[in-house]
Amino acid sequence: MHAATRAGAHHAAAREALLRYVLRPPIAKERVEPQQDGLVRLSLKRAFADGTVAVDMDPLSLLCRLAASVPPPRFYTVKYAGVLASASPWRKRIGPRPAKPQEPTRADEDAASKRKRGGYRPWAELLHRTFAIDVLECPTCKGRMKRVAMVTEPRNIARFLSALGEPTDVPARSPNRGPPYWKSTVLRRKAPGDAA
């Protein structure tokens, strides 16, 4: 979408056009047609150089081809070149100038030091944020526990687990499974009158 496109809060037609643009399918519905033999016919906008005007394929092949066109997460599909490129040495010349910093007051420094926190998070806090369980809460008395020691030696870990009656050997993994196999069917259809 063009960066100058706007849809105001009270402009219903512009909002509808924006939603239609966002919700449009990757292939026009009029160009996809199921066939009697179980294949799906995809009509092309323009004929290929060899005269192909439609492609018939099984539904799984069509889905695989559509999935291959989806970009991976956090992968930018818009690339900027020239002055707008991120590595351009002239990029800072076209952007807005940063405001001059004001002299911080004592109250601002105190508030910033209270707000500022390092990147380190304790493991118990991370587990609580991720799984919503408090690992430092005692299961019997509901009191707070503290870490006494961290056991990292394999010999000590095996001794501790055997004292608790837990298995000490790593369970065997099941063998890896290959990708599913299906016989892909893709047929090119030429316009009537073209040589096969």
Is residue 1 scored above 60 in pLDDT? Answer: no
Structure tokens at 82: 């020239």
Q: Cα separation of 108 and 167, whole Å? A: 56
Task: Output the pLDDT for position 29.
Answer: 86
pLDDT band at 107 (very low <50, low <70, confident <90, very high): low
Task: Output the pLDDT for position 121.
Answer: 84
pLDDT band at 186 (very low <50, low <70, confident <90, very high): confident
> Is 67 or 105 the better-scoring residue by pLDDT?
67
Nearest to 146 by CA among 122, 175, 181, 168: 122
Is pTM, for the whole model, over 0.85? no
Average pLDDT, the chain: 81
List pLDDT tens digits, range 53-87.
999 998 888 888 888 888 888 777 777 788 878 78
Is residue 41 scored above 60 in pLDDT? Answer: yes
Please give the DSSP secondary-structure letter assigned to residue 55: E
Torsion angle, CA of 120/126/129/133, rounded to 10 degrees? -150
1-15, 49-63, 107-121, 171-185: least confident range: 107-121
Q: Work out the average pLDDT over 163-181.
A: 82
